[in-house]
Chain A
Amino acid sequence: MRVGLFVTCLVDAMRPRIGFATIKLLESAGCEVVFPEQQTCCGQPGFNSGDKDSAKSLALKFIAEFEMFDYVVVPSGSCAGMIKVHYPELFQDNPSLFARFTALSQRTFELTDFLVRIVKIEKVPGSFQGSITYHDSCSGLRQLDVYKQPRQLLATMTDVTVNEMIESTTCCGFGGTFSVKYGELSTRMADNKCQHITDTHADAIVGGDLGCLLNIEGRLRRTGDLKTRVLHVAEILSGSAQEE
């Protein structure tokens, strides 16, 4: 399987090790992983702010870079959701582009969804000693039905204990530009999420979307919690979290 890796702008800028962890996971599952170097951003920030035109331009750029792969894998529910759900919608008035984007969306997957449903991986290369709690990012959960997949993968790791938090599926308050535009509200939502995380006494909070994780980490640290680790699920599954 030839997989095109879309790392996402946040992973590229903030946490490259998530991208490398993703490559490790995909290669251990037998995929040939290609990183198209011209990739940038899926266009979601602009799209959610009401800028359809920019979103369309970035969608056209994306399809030119990724259409040739057997699969496209994304370590982010929100970016994968943008590509799978919204890209085709953007071109509803153009039958040929709509067909191409629909076909591409059927080959595009969020990382854990890909590993469970397509590759059907049974063992992950990494190990991790400790307790974790899982935050279900909104787009992955509600647009792509990602809920069981990360838990299924984590369950294969014998030294990982999963302590479910209350309201794991409630929004953490990130929401892209919302986190800055409605900062007070966003902070309160992050605070609620951090409270639920702290109540689990888990060593680490884990999720599939870096935006959420940065938001959560930012609030944890500001409130004095320097201990709880904040990790992307790829880092746990690949073992790179244990290496640190």
Chain B
Amino acid sequence: MQNNSVNFKRQVTVKLADVRLQNALSRLQSRFVGGRAAVISEISDFEETRVAAAAIRDRALNDLEHWLLQFEQQATARGAVIHWAETGEDVNRIVVEIAALHGVRTAAKSKSMVSEECGLNDALEKAGVQVTETDLGEYILQLGHEAPSHIVAPVVHKNKEEIADLFAEHHQKPRKTGIAELCLEARETLRPIFLNADMGISGGNFVIAETGSVLIVTNEGNGRLVTTLPRVHVAITGIEKVVPTLEDVTTLLRLLPRSATGQSITNYISLLTGTKGSTDHDGPAHFHIILLDNGRSSILDSDMQKMLRCIRCGACMNHCPVYQNIGGHAYGWVYPGPMGSILTPLLGGLESSPDLPNASTLCGACGAVCPVKIPLPDLLRKLREKQMERGMKTQRETFMLKAWAWMALHPKIYALITKIGVRLMGLMGGKDKLLHSLPGASGWTDGRDFPAPSGRTFRDLYQQGKHS
């Protein structure tokens, strides 16, 4: 998917004015934030479980090579074929080759954010393979040629009227109005796709080294259908998704659905190991697993490594006041919210996303809910440090920061300048004691007054003898 995060500021203006989006976002907030809070209490010691989950992720990351080799060995022994892809284009090429190898003309796809990174669907269509998204949200997006705006609830930005319009346009059936009717229509439309697809494509929430398995969590049943019925299954995931044992993934599964959707457990959890054998009735004859790097290996052993712990729950964006106000599309790439503000510059290059690390108050709501304790605000700040080191800040900002720091290191000058400055500003405030505009700070005064300073500094008053 193309990275458009350089358009962030313009997008913010658009999204803030989008009333339909604003309504949709408040729905998201009440369900996911409230939902999570209600079920977290089911875990007797949430903090202890988070610590354990972070340790599980770190165990894998700190010895990633060995765990990946273990996974490869186990998976291969059960009949799966492991492919390694350096970039998104490599993934696309591999999937096209697999399709050609097995005479695939139609593919049914369940959700995969990694495949969005690659732009897989376009590549398959170009190669003559008809791909249908089957996750309801992703299917709706496919009809509307849009990108997901949330990693778990991809079509959260649309209301049912918009969806009803899309269905009416594409299904050539009378326009439905109710949510249940729309879901039924999607079920009936997609059922034949599942039954007839040559290839199923899925992501992989985790891959388990102990057993060589791919684990997917879903609610709709489409994940099970695309990995059971077609004769070829291709699973695509990032190299960082390896988890050592079944017990380890179980700990992660206690936190993932609760953090994501406020469910104690997702409807379906499928552990998929190897191909259909003589002791199976269902299942793919061919199972291909593609492990994508796309910049992840460069994050290892860096001060940003903890970002690779991410289990893609979406809790950070659900709780982020910035995301809550602008939604996911403004972030310009596959991953929105706090995790996207870190991953997009890391995977796409800092130059591609000048705004994302800065468009945050560092309020910390994200870090407080991250099930694997990624220090998200710290990582955002680190990216700002890197921007500073590489001279990516504006001259003006760099000057202002250096000037302030210099003043603060010279108390006498600081005292004098602040004394004069606040006297002036106090006067500018007038009777109202409000400044309605401030030179150089229109970002503030366009939407807010600036309360005038009292006119004297504390230091000045204290030195004059005032003590209380």
Asked whether any CB of chain A lies closer than 8 Å to the CB of B448, the reply is yes
Residue of B nearest to A47 (CB): B381
Asked whether any CB of chain A lies closer than 8 Å to the CB of B13, the reply is yes
- Taking a contact as CB atoms under 8 Å apart, the answer to whether B13 and A184 are in contact is yes
| Contact mask for chain A residues 134-173; partner B; CB cutoff 8 A; 1 contact, 0 none | 0000110111000000000000000000000000011101
- Taking a contact as CB atoms under 8 Å apart, the answer to whether B12 and A13 are in contact is no
- Taking a contact as CB atoms under 8 Å apart, the answer to whether B397 and A49 are in contact is yes
Q: Which residues 181-205 of A sit at the B interface, judged by CB distance below 8 A? A: 181-192
> With A14-B451, A51-B401 given, is the CB distance from A185 to B325 under 8 Å?
yes
Q: Distance in Å from the Cβ of B56 to the closest Cβ of chain A?
A: 24
Task: Kindly identify which residue among B9, B326, B360, B402 contacts A54, using a CB–CB cutoff of 8 Å.
Answer: B402
| Contact mask for chain B residues 413-447; partner A; CB cutoff 8 A; 1 contact, 0 none | 01000100110000000001010000001111011
Asked whether any CB of chain B lies closer than 8 Å to the CB of A97, the reply is no
Residue of B nearest to A226 (CB): B432
- Taking a contact as CB atoms under 8 Å apart, the answer to whether A24 and B325 are in contact is no
Asked whether any CB of chain A lies closer than 8 Å to the CB of B457, the reply is yes
Contacts of B434 in A (CB 8 A): 218, 221
Contacts of A190 in B (CB 8 A): 447-448
Q: Which of B74-82, B258-266, B383-391 contacts A (4 or more CB under 8 A)?
A: B383-391
Residue of B nearest to A183 (CB): B443
- Taking a contact as CB atoms under 8 Å apart, the answer to whether B385 and A50 are in contact is yes
Of residues A143, A175, A176, which shows the largest number of chain B Cβ atoms within 10 Å of its Cβ? A175
Q: Distance in Å from the Cβ of A161 to the closest Cβ of chain B?
A: 25
- Taking a contact as CB atoms under 8 Å apart, the answer to whether B408 and A50 are in contact is no
Asked whether any CB of chain B lies closer than 8 Å to the CB of A15, the reply is yes
Q: Which secondary structure dominates where chain B touches chain A? A: helix
- Taking a contact as CB atoms under 8 Å apart, the answer to whether B404 and A45 are in contact is yes
- Taking a contact as CB atoms under 8 Å apart, the answer to whether B468 and A182 are in contact is no
- Taking a contact as CB atoms under 8 Å apart, the answer to whether B454 and A15 are in contact is yes
Q: Distance in Å from the Cβ of A226 to the closest Cβ of chain B?
A: 9
Contacts of A41 in B (CB 8 A): 404, 408
A141 to B35, CA, bound (A): 22
Residue of A nearest to B433 (CB): A221
User: Interface size class for chain B?
Assistant: 35 or more
- Taking a contact as CB atoms under 8 Å apart, the answer to whether B450 and A13 are in contact is no
Contacts of B448 in A (CB 8 A): 187, 190, 215, 218-219, 221-222
Task: Kindly identify which residue among B322, B381, B405, B458 contacts A58, using a CB–CB cutoff of 8 Å.
Answer: B405
- Taking a contact as CB atoms under 8 Å apart, the answer to whether A24 and B447 are in contact is no
Contacts of A186 in B (CB 8 A): 361, 443-444, 447
> With A52-B385, A184-B13, A185-B322 given, is the CB distance from A7 to B458 under 8 Å?
yes
Contacts of A181 in B (CB 8 A): 358, 397, 443
Asked whether any CB of chain A lies closer than 8 Å to the CB of B281, the reply is no
Contacts of A14 in B (CB 8 A): 422, 451, 453-454
Asked whether any CB of chain A lies closer than 8 Å to the CB of B119, the reply is no
User: Interface size class for chain A?
Assistant: 35 or more
Task: Kindly identify which residue among A38, A215, A217 contacts B411, using a CB–CB cutoff of 8 Å.
Answer: A38
Contacts of A17 in B (CB 8 A): 454
Q: Which of B142-150, B337-345, B363-371 contacts A (4 or more CB under 8 A)?
A: B363-371
- Taking a contact as CB atoms under 8 Å apart, the answer to whether B457 and A143 are in contact is no
Asked whether any CB of chain B lies closer than 8 Å to the CB of A11, the reply is yes
- Taking a contact as CB atoms under 8 Å apart, the answer to whether A171 and B468 are in contact is no
Asked whether any CB of chain A lies closer than 8 Å to the CB of B463, the reply is yes
Asked whether any CB of chain A lies closer than 8 Å to the CB of B170, the reply is no
> With A14-B454, A185-B325, A221-B451 given, is the CB distance from A51 to B388 under 8 Å?
yes
A17 to B421, CA, bound (A): 18
Task: Kindly identify which residue among A173, A176, A183 contacts B321, using a CB–CB cutoff of 8 Å.
Answer: A173
Contacts of A11 in B (CB 8 A): 458
Q: Distance in Å from the Cβ of A6 to the closest Cβ of chain B?
A: 11
- Taking a contact as CB atoms under 8 Å apart, the answer to whether B454 and A189 are in contact is no
A37 to B412, CA, bound (A): 10
Task: Kindly identify which residue among B358, B381, B432, B466 contacts A178, using a CB–CB cutoff of 8 Å.
Answer: B358
Contacts of A178 in B (CB 8 A): 358-361
Contacts of A215 in B (CB 8 A): 448
Contacts of B458 in A (CB 8 A): 7, 11-12, 16, 19-20
- Taking a contact as CB atoms under 8 Å apart, the answer to whether A13 and B422 are in contact is yes
- Taking a contact as CB atoms under 8 Å apart, the answer to whether A48 and B384 are in contact is yes
Interface, chain B (partner A; CB < 8 A):
9, 12-13, 16, 321-322, 325-326, 358-365, 367-368, 381, 383-389, 393, 397, 401-402, 404-405, 407-409, 411, 414, 418, 421-422, 432, 434, 441-444, 446-451, 453-454, 456-459, 461-463, 466-468
Which 7 residue pairs of A and B lie closest in terms of their CB atoms, listed nearest first? A175-B361, A183-B443, A187-B447, A50-B384, A218-B448, A54-B405, A16-B458
Taking A51-B385, A138-B365, A171-B361 as known contacts, 20 extra A-B pairs with beta carbons closer than 8 A to each other, sorted by chain A number, are: A11-B458, A15-B454, A16-B461, A23-B467, A37-B463, A40-B408, A40-B411, A41-B404, A139-B364, A169-B365, A171-B363, A174-B361, A178-B361, A179-B444, A183-B444, A184-B12, A185-B325, A187-B446, A189-B321, A191-B447
Interface, chain A (partner B; CB < 8 A):
7, 9, 11-17, 19-21, 23-24, 27, 35, 37-41, 43, 45-52, 54, 57-58, 61, 138-139, 141-143, 169-171, 173-192, 214-215, 217-219, 221-222, 230
Q: What would 18 A/B residue contacts be, using CB atoms closer than 8 Å?
A: A14-B453, A40-B411, A49-B384, A58-B409, A61-B408, A138-B362, A171-B321, A182-B443, A185-B12, A185-B16, A185-B359, A186-B361, A187-B448, A191-B447, A192-B321, A221-B432, A221-B449, A230-B451
